[in-house]
Structure 1
Amino acid sequence: MEEKCRNVYQQIRRREYGVKKRPRSKFEILKTLVLDENYVYKEVWTKYSSKGIKTEGGRIYFENYTNCYGGYGRDNKPVHLHSLSTPWEQKIETALVASIQPEKLSLPHKGERPSFFCIVGKCWLMRFDWITGQLLEEVYLLPRTHCHFSDLSWNEPGASIVLRSTHKMTGCIRQVEADRPNVVKVLALFDVFPIRFTGMFEVTKSVFGDDTVDAMASSGFLTTMHRSGMVKLHSMEYILQKYKLYEAELYTRLQNQEEICGKQPCGLPLNIIIKEEPPVLFQVKCHQNSLEVGGCPWHFMYTPPRKEGSFHVKSLVSGQLAKNGVLKSEELGLDADRAQFCTDETGRILHIDSKSVSMHRIKETKSTKSEIEKCFTINLERKDKAQVTSTDTYTSSGRHVTRISFWSMIHMDVELPNMVIHNVDYEDELDLLWTSVDYFIADNDMESYLRFHDNNTGETIKEIKLAQPFVESMNEENEVKVDLDTVVQTVKSFNGEFACVVYRLQAKVEEQEQNTDKPRRKGAKLENNQPRESEDSSTGSQNSSRSRRAQRRSREGESDEEWTVPGSSSETRHSRRRKQRGTSERSSENRQTARQESRRRTKE
């Protein structure tokens, strides 16, 4: 296998001349710079806010999505791009960035521009231009007396979105259900590029079961969750084909009605009525409705009831438990263990415990039973652990008091790791796995690190120390997002204050300072001094020649004011001008006298 080129100059030349040109060549060049020892992620910008800070599509949103920051300004700092203004200054509940690949664009159309979808005032869906922040479309969903919308997500990524009511119903859309309100959720489906209303329907207890507590749409499935822990999957395509009554187009008059679709006062119609439970494609009973489907071949991963902390991986086709398919850690930690399918499209599984991150792959065997094989383990534990210390204080009366910190009290009964793993994710454009961890090095001191790991071996390639924007040693939330040469850290303190720290990829400052402070060579120093010495010598020679000429003219009886040389003083130049003016005046007087004498002689 040919080794990849690690030289940036050679990679640029190969891309220029088309040698082994690949679509990801520019990302490989940037990856080389990211992993280079001479380049680091440097903190360039910090901003605090009393409201939540969100990052969507590589941009940072403050004040409930109203102020947008991004791009590259002076010293690589993000700049204020635009402000979103909503009608009647209503609050933006949630938002979603939708953009399409340039090669998939058809004829120019505003509906295919990169858009920023958001739910405003719990009853409006608004689409803004992602680049300029201009309001492009607004759709009135439903009156607030019926339900509130506060959740927006992808149904099929890049194709359709789903809006979900997240508050308890205060009324019913259909008058039939008014006497016995049993609506669990209301879901509205839209296609994007351009935006098109697909349909809206209710999830009711009378159809899906009295113990139904929640419902959501994702990846073409309708998922219902029940109080008993049962999770059921239904086909969304089947629901649209069988229970959809009629098509409704936005901003047009509804069928056999006077109302306009997507406009006040009625909003969207309920054009999908589910009268009976659709066929169940898959169901499983799990703890806290934690279910994930993925892998290659298809498997599902869940936590069985009363087995918190363990994850079982089973085949989606046969339902058999895979060999070594129970992922469990015996270590205790402040946070519960997590397991998820890796987003690098390899079908591997990430298992995150209190000290390490393990990567597993699904291996097919000759029998019908698959096998879970561990690929590598990333140990994130540090050797130096937090010490249990106390602080001795004295009261005004002289009484001795020993105060123990909160972190030390936790360690008194149970030995817990002095670390918290916050984020584990995959950067698809750089093909790197990254982790962010907080370490408690003392009672009131904490350090945070971001590490890049090889996606195939788990080897730690680079480590970046993150800033601590708050004085508190522990934070409620610490979220990190990596986007090529930019790292965005969002921290929430226990007192409800938010902070955002932005890091940019830059060359090391030490090397730049060494280059500027580097002593010059002796030859260069002499050359730089030579012109100055020549100027001094020329000035001295001019002064000496001027003095010799002045002495010579004084011996001849002439005034010094009549002579000047280039580079002489201002007084000498002024005296020369006065001398010239006096001479010209005398010559003009002599000429006038001569003319008068000639006229007198002519008259005589």
Structure 2
Amino acid sequence: MAPQGRKSSVNAAELLTRRSRGIRDAGTSYRHCLNVLRGVLLQENRNFQKIWSKTSKSTITYESGKVYFENYQNCYSCIQAEPHSLYKMPKRSKHEKIQDALLCQSPLDTTLPSASDHTPSLLALTANNWLYRISANTGKELQRVYLSPRFQFRYLGWDVSQETFYIKSLQKKETPLERQAGISQSTVMHLAVFHVFPLQIVGILEINKKVFGSGVTDVVLSQGVLAVSHSNKSVKLYSFEHIIQKKLTLGQQSALLEGKTVGDAPFGIPVNIQIPDCPPVLFEVSCSNNGVQIGGFPWHYIYTPPHKTHRGTHHICSLQDHSMPTPEVTVTSSGRTVKRRFHQLDDDPGQEAFRVVEYEDELDLLAVVMTDGVEEEGRAHVLLHDNQTGRLLRKIDLVESWDETYQHQLFFDKDTIVHIEQKNSNFCCHVYKLRTISK
């Protein structure tokens, strides 16, 4: 009989020794480092302590170890022991204001045409329809593309994370003169779709009521699927690959612009994807807030039925036959399976309640924000649970109160917890770092 294998443990000193000698699999070493960090994080003599706060009159955003203030113009890094200013871009005029942004990390296994393409960057959309690629480390402009003189683009979103993104325009509204004249506006909005590395246009398409129906209210692109929401609470999914036609190239002349250069001002990017007829519907479901998620194996979809009696619940159904795995069972928004639901006000400060669930994928930990309702505004605690077993591993008390009247966001990023809250017209960012508790 072969001897029973023992479970080996690796400490920090051994990992450093391996690094000095060189290793075959960098991923293995990285996973070992994360296991060490998880072990340190859960030690009794360690805890998260509030080390920094900063307020702002504009929205605060956190992503990948960086906190952005003043519409992404002021950036602080949270990687080190204490947050510090990374860069501050020159003040922009109102028409140059950054409306939305996405953070990009270049792939490690691909050689890109330009050295700057490998730089972590911020894709920033401005009010005057320019798309900028800005260095995430210095705030320096790396590239710019003019989108259109005709359509007002406003929102950025990922189609496939770090691969393909889309820019959505404002919805077209009928003017008073058009209503008086009885002219119906059939165009709902436009989508511009780009590849990220290197930055390259796929195309611009028009979302039209004549093609997708008169009740179209919104459109998003996700994982190569065009999801169209309707006023009757239904969501219809279409294959974007089925829709794509001739692609454009930034910096090259196009017949659609009468020989002008694609992406240059004042011409921008032409509408090169025409949809004369409605493409085949891949999937359709009626749901609350036009929200549906598809995943798992075998494929299932999660949605909330549009009826008031189902408010706050999620139903899980098979994508193949639309059946629910367990009849008469409902999954609540907190992930619990129940057969009967008692309604309770979510913002009642006198009740103990779960507010936010954040998953730290690298440490495989769930961070659950719970308010106890002991005081008027409520005190908040972050409960760290093992993702595999659900076992509570430790409890972290937040210093600031948690007023459920306002919006809150919580981010758990390895040794950092970031809490962003809004109070009236002000925003505040609180940063907690893992520290050793002195006895």
Alpha-carbon shift at residue 106 of structure 1 (Å)? 5.1
Higher relative contact order (CA 8 A, sep 6+): 2
Alpha-carbon shift at residue 445 of structure 1 (Å)? 4.6
Does the C-alpha gap of structure 1 residues 232 and 77 become closer, same or farther in structure 2, counting only changes over 3 Å? same
Aligned AA (1:489): H
Indicate yes or no: 2:378 matched with 1:449: no
Q: Which residue of 2 aligns with 1:297?
A: 298
Does the C-alpha gap of structure 1 residues 103 and 252 become closer, same or farther in structure 2, counting only changes over 3 Å? closer
Q: Which residue of 1 aligns with 2:321?
A: 318
Aligned AA (1:466): L
Q: Which residue of 2 aligns with 1:379?
A: none
Alpha-carbon shift at residue 435 of structure 1 (Å)? 0.9
Does the C-alpha gap of structure 1 residues 101 and 263 become closer, same or farther in structure 2, counting only changes over 3 Å? closer
Alpha-carbon shift at residue 417 of structure 1 (Å)? 6.1
Alpha-carbon shift at residue 482 of structure 1 (Å)? 1.0
Aligned AA (2:414): L
Q: Which residue of 1 aligns with 2:398?
A: 466
In structure 1, C-alpha distance between the alignment counterparts of 2:229 and 2:114, rounded to whole Å: 42
Does the C-alpha gap of structure 1 residues 285 and 71 become closer, same or farther in structure 2, counting only changes over 3 Å? closer
2:135 to 123, 129, 132: 129
Residues 549-588 of structure 1: matches in 2 within 5 Å? none
Indicate yes or no: 2:251 matched with 1:251: yes
Does the C-alpha gap of structure 1 residues 437 and 26 become closer, same or farther in structure 2, counting only changes over 3 Å? same
Q: Which runs of 5+ in 2 are unaligned?
A: 176-181, 340-344
Q: Deviations over 1:333-392 (max 9, x none)?
A: xxxx52xxxxxxxxxxxxx1xxxx53x8xxxxxxxxxxxx99xxxxxxxxxxxxxxxxxx
In structure 1, C-alpha distance between the alignment counterparts of 2:275 and 2:166, rounded to whole Å: 17
Q: Which residue of 1 aligns with 2:178?
A: none
Alpha-carbon shift at residue 293 of structure 1 (Å)? 0.6
Percent of matched pairs sharing the same residue: 30
Alpha-carbon shift at residue 292 of structure 1 (Å)? 1.1
1:440 to 350, 373, 380: 373
Alpha-carbon shift at residue 221 of structure 1 (Å)? 0.3
Does the C-alpha gap of structure 1 residues 26 and 7 become closer, same or farther in structure 2, counting only changes over 3 Å? closer
Q: Which residue of 1 aligns with 2:232?
A: 228
In structure 2, C-alpha distance between the alignment counterparts of 1:325 and 1:5, rounded to whole Å: 45
Does the C-alpha gap of structure 1 residues 16 and 261 become closer, same or farther in structure 2, counting only changes over 3 Å? closer
1:215 to 200, 215, 219: 219
In structure 2, C-alpha distance between the alignment counterparts of 1:231 and 1:218, rounded to whole Å: 13
Indicate yes or no: 2:110 matched with 1:110: no
Q: Which residue of 2 aligns with 1:480?
A: 410
Number of matched pairs? 418
Q: Which residue of 2 aligns with 1:194?
A: 198
Does the C-alpha gap of structure 1 residues 326 and 276 become closer, same or farther in structure 2, counting only changes over 3 Å? farther
In structure 2, C-alpha distance between the alignment counterparts of 1:415 and 1:112, rounded to whole Å: 48
In structure 1, C-alpha distance between the alignment counterparts of 2:24 and 2:160, rounded to whole Å: 37
Does the C-alpha gap of structure 1 residues 289 and 507 become closer, same or farther in structure 2, counting only changes over 3 Å? same
Residues 29-108 of structure 1: matches in 2 within 5 Å? 29-71=36-78, 76-85=81-90, 88=93, 90-105=96-111
In structure 2, C-alpha distance between the alignment counterparts of 1:189 and 1:415, rounded to whole Å: 43
Aligned AA (1:465): D
1:424 to 357, 371, 374: 357
In structure 1, C-alpha distance between the alignment counterparts of 2:58 and 2:348, rounded to whole Å: 36
**Contact 1:312 1:325 (8 Å CA) reproduced:** no
In structure 1, C-alpha distance between the alignment counterparts of 2:115 and 2:381, rounded to whole Å: 44
Does the C-alpha gap of structure 1 residues 194 and 170 become closer, same or farther in structure 2, counting only changes over 3 Å? farther
**Contact 2:349 2:373 (8 Å CA) reproduced:** no
Where 1:275 maps in the other structure, the secondary structure is coil
Q: Deviations over 1:449-475 (max 9, x none)?
A: 112101111111011111217xx8555
Aligned AA (1:218): S
Alpha-carbon shift at residue 319 of structure 1 (Å)? 2.3
In structure 2, C-alpha distance between the alignment counterparts of 1:269 and 1:87, rounded to whole Å: 27
Alpha-carbon shift at residue 10 of structure 1 (Å)? 5.8
In structure 1, C-alpha distance between the alignment counterparts of 2:107 and 2:267, rounded to whole Å: 35
Residues 172-191 of structure 1: matches in 2 within 5 Å? 180-191=184-195
Q: Which runs of 5+ in 1 are unaligned?
A: 172-177, 329-336, 339-351, 361-372, 375-409, 512-604
Where 1:100 maps in the other structure, the secondary structure is coil
Alpha-carbon shift at residue 270 of structure 1 (Å)? 0.3
Larger strand share, 1 or 2? 2
CA RMSD between the two structures: 3.0
Does the C-alpha gap of structure 1 residues 152 and 127 become closer, same or farther in structure 2, counting only changes over 3 Å? same
Alpha-carbon shift at residue 62 of structure 1 (Å)? 0.7
**Contact 1:250 1:261 (8 Å CA) reproduced:** yes
Q: Which residue of 2 aligns with 1:562?
A: none
Residues 269-284 of structure 1: matches in 2 within 5 Å? 269-284=270-285
Q: Deviations over 1:188-218 (max 9, x none)?
A: 0000111000000011111111111111111
**Contact 2:87 2:139 (8 Å CA) reproduced:** yes
Q: Which residue of 1 aligns with 2:179?
A: none
Residues 289-368 of structure 1: matches in 2 within 5 Å? 289-306=290-307, 307-324=310-327, 326-328=329-331, 338=333, 352=334, 357-358=335-336
Q: Which residue of 1 aligns with 2:421?
A: 491
In structure 1, C-alpha distance between the alignment counterparts of 2:241 and 2:152, rounded to whole Å: 25
Aligned AA (1:214): D
Aligned AA (2:57): S
**TM-score between both structures, scaled by the size of structure 1:** 0.64
Q: Deviations over 1:477-510 (max 9, x none)?
A: 12111111111111111x22111111111111x3
In structure 1, C-alpha distance between the alignment counterparts of 2:39 and 2:292, rounded to whole Å: 37
Alpha-carbon shift at residue 424 of structure 1 (Å)? 0.7
Structure of larger gyration radius: 1
